[in-house]
Amino acid sequence: MSDALKDKKVVIIGLGLIGGSIARALSARNIGGEIVGVGREQDVLQQAQEAGAITSWSTELSPACEDADLVILTVPSLTVHTVLETIKPTLPAQAVITDAASVKSAIVQAAKAVFGETPARFIPGHPIAGSEHSGFSASTADLFQGKKVILTPLEKSDTEAVELVTSLWEALGAEVLTMTVERHDEVLAATSHLPHLLAFSLVDTLSQQGESEEIFRYAAGGFRDFTRIASSDPQMWHDIFMTNGPATVKILDSYIEDLQRLRKALLSGDSEELMKTFKRANKSRARFLEFFEKGGNNSA
């Protein structure tokens, strides 16, 4: 592990599942000098300090960022703009900033709006890790172990800042990859945002049926797993869909088109079309699982 964060002041803004897990992971691994937690709820901050996840805390954004070496934003996407505006006056010029939001274009736009252009030392990032549970109480020190983190540095990004953020995530056990902001938002729309939309929507469709209580009563383990992500935080997913609407709609349209094709096959009893689709999907899922289980999703 690199010593890049030795004796540094790390400020984590937002101590939910992600921010809390970063704090716990840093502390557990004894990385960083001071770890400052910033949030709105005193009891959560106190809980984080008692858990040994942070060394100090504040409910005031601006003073907390004075002398910061690294600021990690783990607040809901739509509040990033306000947070950046608030910390701008006290943020040291040499401080590196990163975030963990699921939609990178919105974060880059927010930074640009606040700073005129996205600061060279602002390196957008996204850990592909999470849970349907949210809040500090769901945070764990090993949330990022073996997971992927995607960084989306811009053309003018500072190389040293990219290296610092990379070494942060690597120190927490993650594999760091880079791609463009646009590619990130497109890939995540397909693999994460669309599945969440479909799961929320299915549970909602069924709950609107007559006797929905009875319907849910007969649902089994397959339904439970398929809809697990519909237990995710509504506010967080609201923010994701408010900011990644176009990319999500693009892949949603492909999906609805494919569903319509299957619908036609169901109505006409098109045995061949159904079999072809299910076999192809079954094979693709096996390929995905191979990546996932053999560490293709966990290591290089």
Positions in 187-226 near a copy of itself (CB under 8 A) = 187-188, 190-192, 194-209, 212-226
Cα–Cα distances (Å) from 153 to 13, 117, 162, 163, 196, in that order, read 20, 13, 7, 11, 26
Q: In what order do the strands lie in the sheet with 125-128?
A: 125-128, 148-151, 175-178
Question: Closest separation between CB of residue 29 and a copy of itself, Å?
Answer: 22
| Separation of alpha carbons 36 and 57, rounded Å | 5
Residue in 58, 119, 126 with CA at minimum distance from that of residue 94? 119
Question: Closest separation between CB of residue 13 and a copy of itself, Å?
Answer: 23
Cα–Cα distances (Å) from 205 to 193, 221, 235, 286, 298, in that order, read 18, 19, 20, 29, 34
For a copy of itself, the binding residue among 67, 288, 295, 299 (CB under 8 A) is 288
Interface of this chain with a copy of itself, residues 249 to 268, rule: CB under 8 A: 249, 251-256, 258-260, 262-263, 265-267
Structure-token pair, residue 140:
């764990």
Residue number with CB closer to a copy of itself (122 or 241)? 241
Residue number with CB closer to a copy of itself (33 or 195)? 195
Residue number with CB closer to a copy of itself (51 or 262)? 262
Check: CB of residue 99 under 8 Å from CB of residue 73.
yes
Q: Does position 77 bind a copy of itself by CB under 8 A?
A: no
Question: Closest separation between CB of residue 173 and a copy of itself, Å?
Answer: 15
For a copy of itself, the binding residue among 41, 60, 289, 295 (CB under 8 A) is 289
Residue number with CB closer to a copy of itself (94 or 235)? 235
| Separation of alpha carbons 251 and 253, rounded Å | 5
| Separation of alpha carbons 221 and 192, rounded Å | 21
Structure-token pair, residue 57:
């805390």
DSSP 155: T
Binding mask 126-145 for a copy of itself (x = CB under 8 A): --xxx-x-------------
For a copy of itself, the binding residue among 292, 294, 295, 299 (CB under 8 A) is 292
Residue number with CB closer to a copy of itself (4 or 181)? 181
Stretch touching a copy of itself by CB under 8 A, among 17-25, 51-59, 161-169, 275-283: 275-283
Helices (H), 32-122: 42-50, 61-64, 80-87, 104-115
